[in-house]
């Protein structure tokens, strides 16, 4: 599987689920990539691919943490074109959302 195929699969998964947690995305992606393999392919740096896709506007990544696990940043992914609103404006500013 080539990089562009992996990116297309990421977009498809996020769109089909209408957004998903990072762990769900990676699990589904790994499953589908494994099933599509007919021969070994190069390993992909999935976190870097997701970061690059978010930087390029191909998907939206929301990073967040909860009070119980402040040491752990989590991600939620949305399809391109989605709108994000926050109830508490001062929290959104810390995340870079407006």
pLDDT tens-digit series, residues 4-14: 999 999 999 99
25-78: pLDDT as tens digits = 999 998 888 777 755 566 788 889 999 999 999 999 998 888 888 888 899 999
Half-sphere exposure of 82 (CA within 13 A, CB side): 21
Domain ranges of the chain: 3-94
How many whole angstroms separate alpha carbon 51 and alpha carbon 44? 13
Q: Does domain 3-94 have CATH number 1.10.10.10?
A: yes
How many whole angstroms separate alpha carbon 47 and alpha carbon 87? 28
Measured in whole angstroms, how far is the alpha carbon of residue 39 from the centre of its chain? 26
Give me the pLDDT at residue 98, please. Answer: 39
Q: CA distances (Å), 11 to each of 25, 48, 50, 86, 95, in order?
A: 10, 15, 10, 24, 23
Give me the pLDDT at residue 87, please. Answer: 72
């Amino acid at each position: 599987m080539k990089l562009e195929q992996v990116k297309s699969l990421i977009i498809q998964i996020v769109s089909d689920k209408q957004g998903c947690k990072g762990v769900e995305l990676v699990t589904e992606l790994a499953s589908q990539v494994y099933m599509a393999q007919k021969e070994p392919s190069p390993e992909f740096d999935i976190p870097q691919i997701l970061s690059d896709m978010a930087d390029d506007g191909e998907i939206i990544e929301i990073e967040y943490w909860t009070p119980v696990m402040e040491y752990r940043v989590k991600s939620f992914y949305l399809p391109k074109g989605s709108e994000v609103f926050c109830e508490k404006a001062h929290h959104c500013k810390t995340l870079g959302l407006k």
